[in-house]
Structure 1
Amino acid sequence: MALKATVFKAHLSLSDMDRHLYQDFSFTLARHPSETDERMMIRLAAFAWHAAERLEFTKGLSADDEPELWRKNYANEIELWIELGQPDEKRLKKACHRAQHVVLYLYGGRGTAVWWKQNQGKLGLHDNLSVIELSENQTLPLTAMVARTMQLTCTISDGQLWISDGNQEVTLDPVLLMGRSARDLQ
């Protein structure tokens, strides 16, 4: 029997000082059986960095031809495609052909340096791709905030994201490896 997704409710109170965006969001997130708590929380952080009216979570790991998040315009063209982890270079190439801009949030500990070294040359051919690295030292503490119902506060300033559940706070300081920063993609 196939395992089913676990459902999480998240309320995100966002204060983005960089874009002067102050808004509350409520989500119902389905965590795929193979998705970790860390990945789910990085999805939430990526949403916060790119929060916009038409930004939405997709089927993610449940669909081969969709990213974790995307923003489409009113003509149903993909303006922003957001990937997580260490995807295959061919997947990113395909995404770059389908979307105006693609952002990869690279995470996964020591393996990220190896992945980046192996893929940097090929990925550099895509001028609409940004690769942003998140440190495992910063992303792993996010898992302590995971609950079936989450009340999260996010503050963004100078590209850094502070996320808190009222008991603990985690700072994410993204490192731009290639392309444009999240702030420049609004």
Structure 2
Amino acid sequence: MQMACKVIRLDLNYSCDVSHAYQQQRHYVSPWHGESAEHFAKRLLAYLSLYEQHPLFAKEDSNGKLPDLYVQDSQQHFSLWCQLELLPEKRLQRAAHLADQVVLVLDEQETDKAMHWPQPPNQRIFTLNQAQLEEFCLMLKGHMQLSVWREEPLLSVTNGEQMLQLDLTPLIKNPH
């Protein structure tokens, strides 16, 4: 199912006792042209999982030539390259060369396939299962009000009606 909204207004309450991060922010997020609700949900969950690193959304899908979410310094060096699908091996090597940290947000099948490939030392794999994506898709609306709290290693997301918990262990532990 494609996203019907052109712009999503996200009112976000984020809290984490460990880092003392307590923020209320409004974000405007646009689905890419032709982006499915499931892919958009995956992108938004990746953003929330990496929130304290202050990632930016890519403006459009570049098919792995550029990251889907990223953090860059003032010299345009990528400190974080986040991709929402398994890249061809050459693009993955390129991403690992261009960034300090590469995060792949994959489904179970892609994770199984990625485990058979050589993994760069700066790569982490974060797996979202189908049930988690479907549950979060139920929260997608034109105006979303989400409360997110992080208690290592869990991230809890709620809209007041539904709640989703993610285990962030793959993002917290040191890369291989």
Relative to the length of structure 2, the TM-score reads 0.83
Partner of 1:48: 48
Say yes or no: does 1:163 pair with 2:157: yes
Equivalent residue for 2:140, pick from 134, 138, 146: 146
Question: Contact (CA 8 Å) 1:139, 1:172: kept in 2 or not?
Answer: no
Q: Pairwise CA RMSD of aligned residues?
A: 2.5
Deviation at 1:72, TM superposition (A): 0.9
Whole-angstrom CA distance in 2 between matches of 1:5 and 1:89 = 34
Gaps of 5+ in 1: none
Task: Determine if contact 2:64/2:91 at 8 Å carries over to the other structure.
Answer: no
**Unmatched 5+ residue regions in structure 2?**
none
**Distance of aligned partners of 1:127 and 1:183 in 2 relative to their CA distance in 1, 3 Å threshold:** closer
Contact 2:111 2:125 in 1 (8 A): no
Asked whether the equivalents of residues 12 and 153 of structure 1 are also in contact (C-alpha less than 8 Å), the reply is yes
Count of aligned pairs between the two proteins: 172
Identity %: 24
**CA distance 1:168–1:105, change in 2 (3 Å):** same
**2:141 aligned partner, one-letter code:** A
Q: Deviations over 1:100-147 (max 9, x none)?
A: 11011112xxxx33x3343323342x0010011122222210011111
Question: Is 1:119–2:114 an aligned residue pair?
Answer: yes
Q: Tell me, in whole angstroms, the C-alpha distance in 1 between the residues paired with 2:101 and 2:123.
A: 6
